[in-house]
Structure 1
Amino acid sequence: MRFLIFFIFFGILACTSKYKTTVSTIDLSNKNLLTIPDSIFSFEQLEYLELGNSFTLYPPLSALGNDTAVNMNKITAVPHNIIRLQNLRKLGLGCNNLISLPIEITQLENLDTLDISFNHHLNIAAALRILKQMKWLKYINIIATNADNNTIDELRKSLPNTLIVATPKDIFIDTNEKPR
């Protein structure tokens, strides 16, 4: 209920010129979303959008209660409206049900961080044409996506200045070292 009130309040602020505000960060993680709300795209100055799911490894998930899995986002697609967020620097979509990425994401040239990890149905080989165009990315997390070693190698060759986290060992790379 609080989420609905929060969302309506920001929707009214975004549509009312008298109370126009600049929102730079929106965190909608763990909100049981199936789609990205259209009202998000009215915040054109948005720099950070978190739509992933966060979870705790300790204590065990069973100790967190029954509502943990219920509140997880299950977003399957990024709408073409993403192009309206030209100031977006960080986009978190981890732990959802993404199947593909829209071509419009390649036009977000301020985006430096993309987390699409733990989207088990996201075929990185199919998204490779899109990802290879994003040469300005500094960081991309593709752990636990549908990616084979050849695809990961091709992505690394195409984005030599991007830190690509594709395996757990990539998390522990020395940041002073050249990205692989």
Structure 2
Amino acid sequence: MKQHTLYLYVFYFVCSFSINSQTKLYKSLETALNNPNDVVKLFLGGKNLKTLDNRIGNLTNLEYLNLQDNQLTELPKSIGNLKKLKKLYLSNNNFTEIGNEIKNANQLIFLDLSFNPLRKIPDFVFELSKLENLQLFKTNLSSMPKKIKKLKKLVSLELGKNNFKVIPKVIFEIKTLRTLGLNSNNISVLPNSIAKLINLRELWLMNNNIEVYPEAINELQLNKLYLSYNNLSLLPDSIGEIITLEELGLMGNKLTDLPRNIMRLENLKILSLNENNFKKIPIILKKLKNLKYIYFSHKFISQEEIDDFEKNTKIKIINK
């Protein structure tokens, strides 16, 4: 199994974990129950909980609830009282299924079910009409129900570290998506239907089995494209058509050179080329005026060559 599979999930978690410093974050249910009407944010992560106290339902003004890193297998029915809940973290527990207890929390915009042995998406999820961000990293999924189309406001869908061999067709009908994470699956081909995701800005396909660059990607206005740790040996000139691209991850492939048209990526700032088969640093990259960092490591590349490349450019080569 290839490595480097968790950092995307960590990235999403850090970005979504930001908490308004003006709102008190409670870290004890007992303390929170002393002033139940005042509690808006509650963190009970990493407390080795096997059950959740039914009194959680008394915190009817709760908007943020973090229950990650416990041993929960079910939720109390009283959690249905949390009708103002907007962010719910249930990652890294022991849920094999989750009932409809959360169905009434129809204000949810963020839901993290990652690192649970679910095998299928709980039905209540499809009733969350305001949901924007759904995290399902490593949940043993291999298929996607058509009901996911009901999530009309979904902008971020994380499906990394699952068992997908192909991208489920229904995903291409979620036109609101801006971020799609499919790292560490068994995907070998991307269909032309990917071009239907007209609002997509970030596509993560690391640690798959892609051998041929999927040119349908070029029709998207991506800002971030990560194809690291696949089996790519060649990039087509057409990659230069994604002129909106700011970050391009190609590490861990079989590349020996880059196409000339890559110089058209005038907005590119970060390029990862580690662990390929380059014998020298592609000189064409000097033409990328906004490029700031190239991650490039190879035993054939000397410090002298790096210094010579960086001369008269603003590009920094990170050789590791």
Same fold per superposition (TM over 0.5)? yes
CA distance in 1, matches of 2:239, 2:194: 20
| CA radius of gyration, larger in | 2
CA distance in 2, matches of 1:145, 1:41: 32
AA in 2 matched with 1:39: A
CA distance in 1, matches of 2:273, 2:216: 22
Give structure 1 regions of 4+ aligned residues with deviation exceeding 4 angstroms: none
Select the residue among 198, 212, 223 that pairs with 1:21: 198
Cα deviation 1:118-171 (Å, max 9, x = unaligned)? 11x21225x22x022223211111112642333212111142x222102x3xxx
Does residue 143 of structure 1 match 2:300? no
Select the residue among 240, 244, 263 that pairs with 1:106: 263
Q: SS at 1:49's partner residue?
A: strand
Residue correspondence of structure 1 range 15-164 to structure 2 within 5 A: 15=196, 21-43=198-220, 45-53=221-229, 73-119=230-276, 121-125=277-281, 127-128=282-283, 130-144=284-298, 146-159=300-313, 161-164=314-317
AA in 1 matched with 2:315: T
Match of 1:67 in 2: none
Q: SS at 2:311's partner residue?
A: helix
CA distance in 2, matches of 1:41, 1:8: 21
Structure 1 position 74, deviation (Å): 1.3
CA distance in 1, matches of 2:240, 2:204: 19
Structure 1 position 7, deviation (Å): 6.7
Q: What is the TM-score normalised by the length of structure 2?
A: 0.40
Q: Which runs of 5+ in 1 are unaligned?
A: 54-72, 169-180
Contact 2:215 2:239 survives alignment (8 Å): no
Instruction: Name whichever structure is richer in helix by fraction.
Output: 1
Q: Which runs of 5+ in 2 are unaligned?
A: 1-141, 143-163, 173-191
Structure-2 change in CA distance of 1:89 and 1:23 (3 Å): same
AA in 1 matched with 2:212: T
Cα deviation 1:8-52 (Å, max 9, x = unaligned)? 84343634xxxx631001111111111211221121x11100000
Q: SS at 2:306's partner residue?
A: helix
Q: What is the TM-score normalised by the length of structure 1?
A: 0.69
Higher RCO structure (Cα 8 Å, ≥6 apart): 1
Structure-2 change in CA distance of 1:22 and 1:158 (3 Å): same
Structure-2 change in CA distance of 1:24 and 1:8 (3 Å): same
CA distance in 1, matches of 2:200, 2:247: 14
Structure-2 change in CA distance of 1:145 and 1:9 (3 Å): farther
AA in 2 matched with 1:29: M
CA RMSD of aligned residues (A): 2.1
CA distance in 1, matches of 2:231, 2:280: 18
Structure-2 change in CA distance of 1:8 and 1:106 (3 Å): farther
CA distance in 2, matches of 1:115, 1:13: 23
Cα deviation 1:70-111 (Å, max 9, x = unaligned)? xxx111111111111010000000011101001111111100
